[in-house]
Chain A
């Protein structure tokens, strides 16, 4: 019972951050700020969802995989954001 409540709360919080990220993506004025909003979904949104689902997996391997997914997304998100920001700062034309 407590486990279910925990999952629901965490997953709902994660979904909220996805919402916040999307709102930022749609409403922020330029590329760099939009990029900032996008990565919030990566870190907090996915992280909270993973946290909520951690209690439902069987065995340590399942939990390890969930955390590994989150860490990979963090790493990739951080790197790609840096690269995209570099491209945006150089003023790439629209394509």
Chain B
């Protein structure tokens, strides 16, 4: 059972690596923004599997932290990767810069 879980964790990792090939190649920056999302989900899955396989429940805490920080990083990517501020379909007035 532990071996099986570790094998699945390795498989998920391989899938993530393959997916990375695509998102890192782009070409649009939106493609690259998906990298954090993909890695986050795959990493979390691998962590949960390893937590059960190696009997380290603390890894679930790492997965929890990773989920939060990954969400934050993805939002930062989207806001920083766009040339303008994030605008929803009906945006409010533009922000001010202290020039």
Contact = CB atoms under 8 A, between A and B. Distances in A.
Given A8-B4, A87-B78, A92-B82, A68 B49 contact: no
Given A80-B37, A88-B28, A95 B81 contact: yes
**Interface size class for chain B?**
35 or more
Interface of B: 1, 4-5, 8, 11-12, 15-16, 18-19, 21-23, 26-34, 37-38, 40-42, 44-45, 48-49, 51-52, 57, 60-61, 63-64, 67-68, 70-71, 74-75, 78, 81-83, 86-88
B78 A83 contact: yes
Contacts of B63: 69
Q: Which of A7, A50, A83 has most B Cβ within 10 Å?
A: A83
Query: Size class of A's contact patch?
Result: 35 or more
Given A18-B42, A76-B70, A69 B81 contact: no
